Amino acid sequence: MPSLLILGGTAWLGREIAAQAVARGWDVTCLARGVSGVVAPGAELVVADRDASGCYAEVADRDWDAVVEVSWQPRHVREAAEALEGRALHWTYISSVAVYAPTRAVVAEDAPLREPVLPDVAVDGSQYDAAKVRCELETVRAQPDALLVRAGVIVGPGDPTERFAYWPRRAALAGEGPMLVPAPPAYPLQLIDVRDLVAWHLVAIEAGLSGPVNAVGEQRAGLDLIELVREVAGAHGPLVRPDAAWLLERGVRPWKGEGSLPLWVPDDGGPARTGFHDGSRFRDTGGVRRPLIETVRDVLTEERSLGVDRPGLAGLSRERELALIAEFERG
């Protein structure tokens, strides 16, 4: 029975890794504070605060077939890689395509990266991209044969960001009423279901895969998923499409968070940080992507069970959306 240590493992992606590994018969241990969620059934939780000294003592005295690191705090990544050096047959760092320098060219794994943050800097979300670069560097320094999973936009049931879930939830709530959707142009998207990402990752561990891999979905133009979510949700109302300047002037934010139109990135003609990543190595090493409509259906089922009219963590409230639509239609 392979032994797997997940440094994290109680939040969304880490918990999915734990759950699928347990289902494959692996012996799974998660080292975490235990405040981001419950450990997957069948996995063991080792409670530890990674800001505290000696936090790896309980897991650093044994050998592991595989270790998976999910943090984006450089000091956590460095200290774990050092504490467990020589203890793991395989090491994975869950990184992001955000490590790449923005460009409109197709980005393969050897493309230039962003400048990293300084070592051991405590970072916030505004430094996420550069922090991931530093975390990769710290990983490879201590674990030279590590697998670097450069994930794209991860979607699927349970996503705590709700940036994908906003759209099927809003379509279901709108029904025959109008929906606010940004007008083109927008940068393309590459969406990958968390379940597909994890299924490939576990196969990659078993195969001893190393080096960087762009784990991304197929390129999709802008927000062309809108028609798909409307079809699944049975929404037939009109689409109202203000341009980017109009939306931004009224404080509608791109990409994620409250008050945003999630996953929207206005195309200003400049370098892109999303949508242009080459997924060939992912496919060539066994990566399989389910049809996006299946992800939409599963997310919508989850959203309906939670209540499509509940306050969301991402996007516009229905009241704010309707107010914007009325303003736009008044001219």
SS (H, E, C) 268-282: CCCCCCCCCECCHHH
pTM over 0.75? The answer is yes
pLDDT, position 99: 97
**Angstrom distance (rounded) from CA 289 to CA 195:** 9
Q: What residue ranges do the domains of the chain occupy?
A: 3-151, 157-190+220-270+291-330
According to the model, what pLDDT value does residue 3 have? 98
What DSSP character marks residue 7? E
Pick the CATH number of 3-151 from 3.40.50.300, 1.10.3720.10, 3.40.50.720, 3.30.420.40: 3.40.50.720
Q: How far is Cα 144 from Cα 211, in angstroms, rounded to an integer?
A: 9
Q: What is the dihedral of CA 250, 253, 254, 258, to 10 degrees?
A: -140
Tens digit of each residue's pLDDT, the chain (331 residues): 899 999 999 999 999 999 999 999 999 999 999 887 889 999 999 999 999 999 999 999 999 999 999 999 999 999 999 999 999 999 999 999 999 999 999 999 999 999 999 998 889 989 999 999 999 999 999 999 999 999 999 999 999 999 999 999 999 999 999 999 999 999 999 999 999 999 999 999 999 999 999 999 999 998 889 999 999 999 999 999 999 999 999 999 999 999 999 999 999 999 988 899 999 999 999 999 999 999 999 999 999 999 999 999 999 999 999 999 999 999 8
Half-sphere exposure of 157 (CA within 13 A, CB side): 16
What the block records as the tokens of 118 is 């300084």
Where helices occur in the chain by DSSP H, the ranges are: 12-23, 74-83, 128-142, 166-174, 194-207, 225-233, 244-249, 280-284, 292-306, 318-330
What was the pLDDT predicted at 223? 86
pLDDT of the residue at 35: 80
Q: Is 79 helix (H, G, I), strand (E, B) or coil?
A: helix
Output b/e per residue, 3-39; b: 16+ Cβ within 10 A: bbbbbbbbebbbbbbbbbbbeeebbbbbbbebeeeeb
pLDDT for 1: 80
Helix axes 128-142, 74-83, angle to 10 degrees: 10
240, 241, 232, 251: which is closest to 169 by C-alpha? Answer: 232
The two tokens of residue 159 are 């996503």
**328 Cβ partners below 8 Å, 6+ apart?**
180, 240, 242, 246
